[in-house]
Amino acid sequence: MNKFSIASFLELTAQKDDKHSFFELEQPELLELNLKNQTVLAKNGSMVAYVGEVKFERRGMLSGGVGNFLKKALSGEGTTMMKATGSGRLYVADYGKKVRVLYLENESINVNGNDVLAHEEAIKSDIKMLKSIAGMMSGGLFQVNLSGTGHVAITTHGHPITLLVKPGEPVYTDPNATVAWSGNLTPQLKTDVTLKSLIGRGSGESIQMKFEGTGWVLVQPYEEVYSVSS
């Protein structure tokens, strides 16, 4: 068979039918959600294809209760997730970013809101706010706390690295490169006056996230500029 024939192309790129887990990585940048009369929450606009009977519902500003309403309005994170219900295969992606699937077992993680791709309906989602006005300038003021038991899919630009946070050894990160961190950590935002005074590149470098205690933080090799979803 000619390696450039259509038959070869179809064989190389065809969907994988040998795996049918609820959350399945079809490709490093493509997540397959196998729904069997189930509901999943996915990032609004992330659907690239689906097979079967799947219905979509856009979540409104009041989803999650009145407590989250003001946070969503302030952070621009209202209506960022959609609810998909039914039976079939749903494929989701986010601008070619790498997809990472995690399974929480009565655990919690914090994720930059822009990097949450999908999660099971059983996972509780709560927008958290870093209590510092500096965060508003860096885009790191709001993040999503995901907790409970079930699958979570997050996205990163390129291959990330996980840094361990140990007592007495704080970790400092650029808010625009910080993807996620362990649920027990609460970062502080600090401003580096020296770096802030430099001319040129210095958006994330001048404003940093400081992690102290015991845990981990995930950073990507990319400084992402976040957009507000409508």
Domains of the chain: 18-219 (3.60.160.10)
Minimum mean pLDDT range among 23-27, 52-56, 64-68, 77-81: 64-68
Question: pLDDT tens digit string along 122-145?
Answer: 999 998 776 554 444 444 457 899
Give the residue carrying structure tokens 């919690």.
Answer: 108
Per-residue 3-state assignment (H helix, E strand, C coil) for the chain:
CCCCCHHHHHHHHCCCCCCCCCEEEEECCEEEEEEEEEEEEEECCCEEEEEEEEEEEECCCCCCCHHHHHHHHHHCCCCCEEEEEEEEEEEECCCCCEEEEEEEEEEEEEECHHHEEEEECCCEEEEEECCCCHHHHHCCCEEEEEEEEEEEEEEECCCCEEEEEECCECEEECHHHEEEEECCCCCEEEECHHHHCCCCCCHHHHEEEEECCCEEEEECCCCCCCCCCC
Nearest to 42 by CA among 53, 57, 27, 21: 57
* Whole-model pTM over 0.95: no
147-198: per-residue pLDDT in tens?
Answer: 999 999 999 999 999 999 999 999 999 988 999 999 999 898 887 656 555 5
Between vectors from CA 31 to CA 122 and to CA 118, what angle results, nearest 5°? Answer: 30
